[in-house]
Amino acid sequence: MAKNSTTAQFIERRERLLGPKLDLFYDDPVHIVRGEGVWLFDADGRRYLDCYNNVPHVGHAHPKVVEAIASQAATLNTHTRYLHDGILDYVERLTATFGDRLSTALLTCTGSEANDVALRMGEAVTGRRGIIATDATYHGNTTAVSQLSSTRPPIGGYTGQVRHVPAPDSYRPLGGESGDAFAAAFTREVEQAIEHLQGTEFGFSTLILCPYFANEGFPDLPGGFLDGSVAAVRKAGGLIIADEVQPGFGRLGSHFWGHERAGFEPDIVTLGKPMGNGHPVGGVVTSSDIMAAFRNAFGYFNTFGGNPVSCAAAMATLEVLQEENLMQNAYDVGGYARERLDQLAGKHDMIGDVRGAGFFFGIELVTDRKNKTPAPDATARVVDSMRENGILMGRTGLNRQVLKIRPPMPFSRDNVDQLMSVLDESLSSLA
Ligand code: PMP
């Protein structure tokens, strides 16, 4: 679609001030000026149903979170080198949501920083530096963490410190259709990566993964899928980092944390995105012995991490999540959404696969079901057509062929009905 002159001027100004190659959603970008609950409003007052944003976890501009931020900002904001209850009260409440062993936390401002710290915890404990990640992941943008992504290699190439294993794809499972064979094939890849790293100067330190494989296209995995990999890591004396930046804080409906749903206990958990409902808060949760090894090896201070305003935002977010039973809402309404998507799959041949849980689900589009040929162009067209019709969603997956639906947690059945009816029309118009 041709962009109007205001949008073109906006884009020119962005590029001039911020530089080129900045991601911008939609062929016809949206100029958002306000958010409320599950709704976003553009500069012309048009309302969009937000089916994409997981950061405003308990809803855009939730009054309780806004009030907590404002009142703490009006009282005190400083760093963590003074005694203050805010961080202690929050960490106490946060760690109560984990198994007994994960009892300490360190607060950061982003998920990237959290993962960076987690990798250094692995180094402090094991004395080694080799890392395993999937070949379709994203864990952030620091120099160290960006090396975990295989899409944008560092200048001069990879150092050999990171070994990538093929991301699990439940629609085209490595090893075959049986769940056991699929899991065994992934385990074998992890075992080989461990062995490879053990033969290098780096040795093997940590396996880092999102327990929901969110950036890999959130495959539907059989129960116990990661058991073999976890056992292989433990046998080699390595640590497991669960990056909960996307699946955490109840988003998956059935469990508060993605690793609980996947059925393993990590050594280190990293947090970000939804933690402060949009206020920049991230964190690393681990055992007291791992935290002590890290502090002893590296110390750590983060000027903004854990400040009283961030802790007030994070505390209010957690309280609202629990008071408003939003995890249960994700379970109930997310389950209903999946049923509705399954019905759509019966009607539209373009839908190759329906997958996901809670409020993190979507569909993979294909050009033909038999060969499961990815349809990234059609996926882009659906996303744009939905935007034209007042619904904001995104796409992901190896070929960006998966429609990603990941709304704020107060999403309702009525919201699902609206989403599905517009999606039905969009798919019909493209067929
Ligand atoms: N981990 C995962 C799984 C992510 O998806 C992201 C961001 N998309 C990050 C870490 C990085 O978080 P941040 O942008 O807050 O640094």
CB 53 near ligand 1, within 6 Å: no
Ligand 1 contacts CB of residue 415 (under 6 A): no
Per-residue pLDDT, 230 = 98
Tokens, residue 22:
């900045």
In the prediction, which pLDDT does 158 show? 85
- β-pair partners for 163: 132
β strands within 265-393, DSSP E: 268-271, 282-286, 351-357, 360-365, 391-392
How many A from CA of 81 to the centre of ligand 1?
A: 27
215 lines ligand 1 (CB under 6 A): yes
CB atoms within 10 A of CB 247: 30
Residue 318 has a pLDDT of 98
112 lines ligand 1 (CB under 6 A): yes
Rounded Cα distance between 256 and 172, Å, is: 28
DSSP type of residue 57: T
Distance CA 94, CA 312 (A): 13
Q: Are 202 and 130 in contact (CB under 8 A)?
A: yes
Check pocket membership of 110 for ligand 1, CB cut-off 6 A.
Answer: yes
Whether the predicted pLDDT of 1 surpasses 70: no
Residue 40 gets which letter from DSSP?
Answer: E
Each residue of 168-219: pLDDT tens digit? 999 999 888 888 999 999 999 999 999 999 999 999 999 999 999 999 999 9
- What residue ranges define each of the domains in the chain, with the CATH number in brackets? 31-58+325-430 (3.90.1150.10), 63-323 (3.40.640.10)
Of 197, 37, 69, 45, the C-alpha closest to 131 is: 197
Of ligand 1's atoms, which has the minimum distance to the CA of residue 214?
Answer: 3
CA atoms within a 13 Å half-sphere pointing along the CA-CB vector of 136: 17
Cβ–ligand 1 distance for 210 under 6 Å, the answer yes
The CB of 193 under 6 Å from ligand 1? The reply is no
Lowest mean pLDDT among 100-104, 357-361, 397-401, 407-411: 397-401
How far is Cα 79 from Cα 304, in angstroms, rounded to an integer?
Answer: 6
pLDDT at 4: 72
Please tell me what DSSP assigns to residue 248.
Answer: T
How far, in Å, CA of 415 to CA of 420, rounded?
9
Mutation choice for ligand 1 from 143, 209, 245, CB with most ligand atoms inside 8 A:
245
Residue 394: CB within 6 Å of ligand 1?
no
Q: What are the tokens at 251? A: 């988003």
CA distance 100 to 413: 36
307 pLDDT exceeds 90? yes
> pLDDT tens across 360-390, in order?
999 999 999 999 999 999 999 999 999 999 9
Tokens of 187: 């385990």
Pocket test for ligand 1, best of 112, 137, 151, 302 (most atoms within 8 A of CB): 112
State pLDDT tens for residues 94-126: 999 999 999 999 999 999 999 999 999 999 999
Query: 313: CA distance to ligand 1 center in Å?
Result: 19
Question: How many Cα neighbours within 13 Å face the side chain of 149?
Answer: 17
Give the strand order in the sheet containing 282-286: 104-108, 282-286, 268-271, 239-243, 206-209, 131-134, 162-165
Please choose, from the candidates 325, 306, 323, the residue with its C-alpha nearest in 3D space to the C-alpha of residue 89. 306
Task: For residue 141, give the ligand 1 atom closest to its CA.
Answer: 16
4: Cα within 13 Å, side-chain hemisphere: 4
CB proximity list for 66: less than 8 A, separation 6 or greater: none
Give the count of beta carbons closer than 10 Å to the beta carbon of residue 302: 16
| Structure token digits, residue 70 | 């404002």
Rg (CA), the chain: 22
